[in-house]
A and B are shown apart, each in its own frame.
Chain A
Amino acid sequence: MSITWDVGTVLLLVMAGLTRAAILFIVAAGLTLVFGVLRVINMAHGSLYMIGAFVAASVIQKVGGTWSFWLALVAAPLAVAAIGAIIEGVVLRRIYQAEHVVQLLATYALILIFDDLVKMIWGAEYKSVSVPASFVGSIAIGGRPFPIYNLFVTAWAMALAGGLWFMIYRTGLGRLIRAAVDDAETLEALGVNIPRIFAAVFVIGAFLAGLGGVLVAPLGSIGLGMDVTILIEAFVVAVIGGLGSFPGALLGAGIIGMMFSFGITVAPDMAMAFVFLAMVIVLIIRPWGLFGEPER
């Protein structure tokens, strides 16, 4: 396959990379936020994303019509957030003080459980959701067609990044979250209800995973296995940016999104290898990632 490298091609690849980055950012932001505050790597984060996509598919199919997508966009992340609240109360709360391996295994157990629950409820067949009516079609970028829906996803992620930034750096909850990232013990000594902060953060993280699932639903097929795929990709993004760092997730998503988009065009067989290589190199040179801080 030969590629002509004109401005249009590059622009198109950048746009495609941004769409990928948008989804990765939304999912990885939740993962990294949860790690930053709770110090737990939630292996089941990808499962929450998958549930978001399946719930969205059901809502859109059952309700139908123009507004079904918008309904799903609100309902699915909320449903996933509710599941997150249950997970936090039943499992996570017991393992905050445990060793990493216990946390990894407990949340890995959740992957297995949710995978089968999804299979029980929705079956093993792939599902697909059509692009919402308002975003059908494409516009010309660099003389080539580019789907409008992808632009919408990118715009949504950017708005969300702004919203999250506002929440973390400009609101009372955000101030508490940042304080909890720095030193949860002192914060608790100051009389702040830490368990409630932890629960809130986990629910926000779950909400973000669910949102990513809804947004990705019209972009491809929805099926079992998408949990593991996104988990690893979100992992790479969060690790490269620095686990626990919100700007890191943004940068990491941008880097990985572009690596996918350009990598698959230039060397399709090697794109994924480059992604993991990037993770390996970052972990060797700066284990705490580009924006993170060394573990205390």
Chain B
Amino acid sequence: MVLLGLLVYPQLVSRYYIVLSTEVVILALLATSYNLIFGYAGMVSFGHAAFFGLGAYAMAILTKRYDSPMLVGLLAAPVVAAVFAFVIGWFCMRTIRLYFSLLSLAFAQLLWVIVFQWHTFTGGSDGIQGVPRPEVLATYASYYYFALAATIVCMLLMWFIVNSPFGWSLRAIRENTQRSQFLGINDRLHKIVAFTIAGAFAGVAGGLYSQFQKWADPELLFWTTSANPVLMSILGGMFSFVGPAIGAVVFVALREIIKVRTEYWPLVLGLVLLTLVLIVPGGIVGFVVDRVRPLLSARKGQTSTP
């Protein structure tokens, strides 16, 4: 049903909504990739934008500078992001909790400075403009379908990952690292692998994003961009697979609704975020699961399964 709606919908609405939907689809992929480490493994990375940005630049540089086919760019984006995620993850795993967050932030900022300053390779503060799209994906609708397809494929892959023994091990590590160690789970290796996988999917999202915007700029790696997937995960609910994607939808919808009324979108976002973390930490999905569903099932005389 949902899928059918996503497929038919661009035929019915104006270009503005198609462009917006494309952005939502890509950000949903980014947020879901982030939640692999955030929700499932319990690692609060504040540097996820680095992998998003690296993917974006991999796509932009390869297709614009070196006239590579888009497929090369789309494959290179996750590979480049994964390589960096592996190295950064390897170092970050040496630290715990707050220091993990800080180190991931520091690495992302380091990459941001490099991208910002390396004019000859990355275009410096101007970024890389005019990222090409192949003929078939020239229209807004066609690119929407392409991004949607790519996101669905990636989401399915991630779905299999989180429901594999590996995914369950991550949850075990999140819940109780010591006990999972007793069970013979190599927690450090699991976390590094999860970090690398999350980085790779963020890279795909980045590659799609720079092609969609036809532009890669250093802002994509900046720490304020890293806050967005965290925010979307919290908004939609970090303890469910689809939560972050829903968070992305709500995030963009909210932004557009507010932006036509006031220029103070960040203010509203800040207030929403503050309310969320202070009052409903489970996010929208968590709220539905915890509060609404028990109400419904109680009415039907059933017990809900957690």
Contact = CB atoms under 8 A, between A and B. Distances in A.
Interface in A89-109: 91, 94-95, 98, 100-102, 104-106, 108-109
Contact of A105 (B97, B98, B234, B267): B234
Given A102-B281, A105-B231, A276-B109, A287 B274 contact: no
A91 B266 contact: no
A113 B271 contact: yes
A284 B266 contact: no
Interface string A24-44: 000000000000000001000
Contacts of A269: 117
Contacts of B110: 273, 276-277, 279-280
Contacts of A120: 264
Chain B at the A interface: SS class = helix
A279 to B, nearest CB: 4
- Which of B98, B223, B224, B231 is packed against the most chain A CB atoms within 10 Å? B98
B109 A113 contact: no
B189 interface: no
Nearest to B116: A272
B114 interface: yes
Interface in B90-117: 91, 94-99, 101-103, 105-107, 109-110, 113-114, 117
Interface string A96-135: 0010111011101111110111011000000000000000
Given A91-B278, A280-B103, A112 B270 contact: yes
Contacts of A295: 96-99
B277 A109 contact: yes
Nearest to B110: A276
Nearest to A111: B270
B101 A100 contact: yes
B273 interface: yes
A124 B113 CA distance: 25
B94 A284 contact: yes
B117 A280 contact: no
A39 to B, nearest CB: 9
A288 interface: yes
A273 to B, nearest CB: 4
B286 to A, nearest CB: 14
B270 A109 contact: yes
Interface string A189-217: 00000000000000000000000000000
A41 B277 CA distance: 15
B123 to A, nearest CB: 14
A280 B269 contact: no
A13 interface: no
B230 interface: yes
Interface in A117-161: 117, 119-120
A116 B281 CA distance: 24
Contacts of B278: 91, 94-95, 106
A98 B234 CA distance: 14
A100 B106 contact: no
A162 B113 CA distance: 35
A111 B266 CA distance: 9
B227 interface: yes
Contact of B98 (A100, A272, A277): A100
B44 interface: yes
B193 to A, nearest CB: 20
A112 B273 contact: yes
Interface in A49-75: none
B57 interface: no
Interface centre among B94, B102, B109, B114 (most CB of A within 10 A): B102
Given A108-B227, A112-B273, A288 B99 contact: yes
B271 A109 contact: yes
Nearest to A274: B113
A112 B258 CA distance: 15
Interface of A: 41, 91, 94-95, 98, 100-102, 104-106, 108-113, 115-117, 119-120, 228, 232, 235-236, 239, 269-270, 272-273, 276-277, 279-280, 283-284, 287-288, 295
Given A94-B278, A109-B270, A288-B99, 14 more contacts: A41-B98, A100-B101, A105-B227, A106-B274, A109-B271, A113-B267, A113-B271, A113-B274, A116-B264, A116-B267, A276-B110, A280-B110, A284-B94, A287-B94
12 contacts: A41-B98, A94-B278, A100-B44, A100-B98, A106-B277, A112-B273, A113-B267, A116-B270, A280-B103, A283-B95, A284-B94, A287-B95
